[in-house]
Each structure stands twice: as structure tokens, then as C-alpha cells.
Amino acid sequence: MGHPFPLREIARQAGLSEATVDRVLNGRGGVRDSTAQEVRRAIADLDRQRTQVRLVGRTFMIDIVMQAPERFTTAVRSALESELPSLHPAVLRSRFHFRETGPVRELVATLDRIVRRGSQGVILKAPDVPEVTAAVGRLVAAGIPVVTLVTDLPASARLAYVGIDDRAAGATAAYLMGQWLGDRPGNVLTSLSSGFFRNEEEREMGFRSLMRARHPERALVEIAEGQGLDATQYDLVRAALERDPAIRAVYSIGGGNIATLRAFADLGRDCDVFVAHDLDQDNTGLLREHRLSAVLHHDLRHDVREACHTVMRAHGALPPAGPRLPSAIQVVTPYNMPPPGAAG
């Protein structure tokens, strides 16, 4: 396993002991396959980050902990690594802890491992449940600042939230939905990946409130717990369409949009208006094909940069900043898409 990095640096990146890393690198056995994979990932992360920043000045090691579909965590990783050159005067190194779904106790165990081994900051996307709130408290008590990204934990001891105003985003989706459906009859399917993510709950409330005020005659049909994954989303959408033949539009709060459209197609149903969130790889392709009406997007690179700056300020590496405003909400249609590679 060739590499140019000191043993201590790899161990720090992987969050393992130097002895364990040494056994993996020299093939001496006695370690699990998953541990060896962590060492390989650490070397790959170091190599990518080394090509984008000069290793000078003060260095921060932060942990990025997220429960989200792979398409979103891939976008976050790309956004962070694209922003590394802008983070001077400090140099930032990151450890990634990504999962698509799973028991809350496993996510809490990840946060508690970070408490034990130490970190200079955690950027977190997690369900808003008491167990996670308590784990954030343990991180902060250990002197590790926590910044929530794209979905908040307002009852926790987190230092700051970085992201959009989700109620405003939901209301924007309702406005577009009402304009585009016009006087045509039909119900609207609202789709959440999980009811435990604060951002999705806020979006749904903003959407429902404006729809109730401006279009009280239009029924809203909610599905949830598809985790934004195509495999689970398809069955939920198909069952909803079979129960309600009047559904003709979708507000996708939590993703899984390829599966949603496939369910419409398999039942021979039209989706007249489809509003989604985030210009990830899936949604970019669907928008180009005119299968989505609009995507509510925000600059993920900006958000990641702000989260990192917040951690750096907590350690005195940057001067204090004024109150943080929510990230701007962009309405993207097939006709105003950013050029390839420009969307954060």
C-alpha cells in the first residue's frame, strides 16, 4: 500500500492507533477488513486533500458526520474538497462518516467515538431525536464545536446551523405548485425521506401552510420514511398512487425522484408538476430531460465553507462574524441550469 504520508498522519486521519495502521500497512494481519478499508480511505483522503492545499499554517482536523443518500454525501465531499483552497489561513483535514440509513444508536456511537479520540470540530447532518441531541452535548462538553448542516438540531448545544430557511423553501414550492397547476383539478403528493429530519419537517409545514391558505380545495397526500432511497421510495409512491387516482403532482422534500417518476410511469399516470430539492446528480439529469418542473437549490459549496469558517472561528483562527443569514434559495428550471460543475 504505497503512500507518501507519515504513519502518525494516517492514524490521525483514520482515527486509529499507529500500531493498528502499522499492522495494516505491513500486512501483518490481526485486523478486520473494515479496519483495513478505513486505512485505505484515510490514505485516499490525504492524497486528494494534499493535491488541493499547501500543507502550511495551522491545521484543523474535523469530522463530517452525515445520514443521507450517497448522492448527497458525494456532493458534500466534492463541495468540501473544492473549497479547501479558500480556507486559509488554516489548513483543514477531514474525516468522513457517511451512512444512508441505520439505527440511531449507530450514529450516536460514531459521535461518541469522536468524543473519545478527539476532534477540532464536527459538521453534522442527523435526525432531530433526543439521543442525537444528547450526543451533541457530550461533544460540546469535550470542547468539540458542532455545526449542523442543511438540517438543524435546535434543542442541542450545537454552535450554529448553516443552511436555508426551510419554511420559506416549502412556501416557495407551494407558490410554484399553485401557479403551475392553475385551475386543473388534482391532488399533490408530498414525499419526505424521514419525519425525524428537522429540515424536511419545516419544508412540509411551509408547503402545507401556504397550500391550505391559497388552495384549500387541493388535497395533500403525504408519504414518508423512504430515506430518499430509490429502492424504498418506489413502493411507497406506487402504493399512494394506487390509493388515490387524483394525484397529479409531486413536492419531493426528501429525494428518491427517479423511483417516484418510475412509479408514475409504471401505472401509466402523468405527473403534471414536480418540484424537488438540490441539484444532485439525479436531479440534474431529470431536469435536463424536463422530467422535473423545478429544483429548489442552494449553494452547497457556500454552506460547507461557512460551516468550516464557523469551526475555525470557534478556535480563534478567524475573527468573529456578524449574524449569519440563511442561504439563498435558487429556483432552477431546465432553462436556467448552471453549467456542468458549477452547482455546489
Instruction: Express each pLDDT in 137-156 by its tens digit.
Output: 999 999 999 999 999 999 99
The CA distance from 112 to 186, in Å, is 48
Quickly state the pLDDT bin for 43 (edges 50, 70, 90): confident
Mean pLDDT of the chain: 91
* Strand stretches in the chain, DSSP E: 58-67, 90-99, 122-125, 146-149, 160-162, 187-191, 220-223, 247-252, 273-277, 294-297, 330-332
Residue 135 backbone dihedrals phi, psi, to 5 degrees: -65, -40
| Burial (CB count <10 Å: 0-12, 13-18, 19+), residue 179 | exposed
Helix, strand, coil percentages in the chain from 3-state DSSP, rounded to 5 = 45, 15, 35
Q: The C-alpha cell of 129 is what? A: 431525536
Quickly state the pLDDT bin for 47 (edges 50, 70, 90): confident
| pLDDT > 70? residue 341 | no
For the stretch 297-327, pLDDT in tens is: 999 999 999 999 999 989 888 888 888 899 9
Handedness of CA 290, 291, 296, 302 (dihedral sign): negative
Predicted pLDDT of residue 2: 60
For the stretch 80-102, pLDDT in tens is: 988 888 776 677 889 999 999 99
| pLDDT > 70? residue 296 | yes
Quickly state the pLDDT bin for 50 (edges 50, 70, 90): low
For the stretch 103-134, pLDDT in tens is: 999 999 999 999 999 999 999 999 999 999 99
| pLDDT > 60? residue 52 | no
Tell me which amino acid residue 9 is: E
Beta bridge partners, 188, equal 220, 249
The CA distance from 335 to 153, in Å, is 35
Cβ neighbours around 116 below 10 Å, total: 9
Predicted pLDDT of residue 342: 58
Predicted pLDDT of residue 57: 58
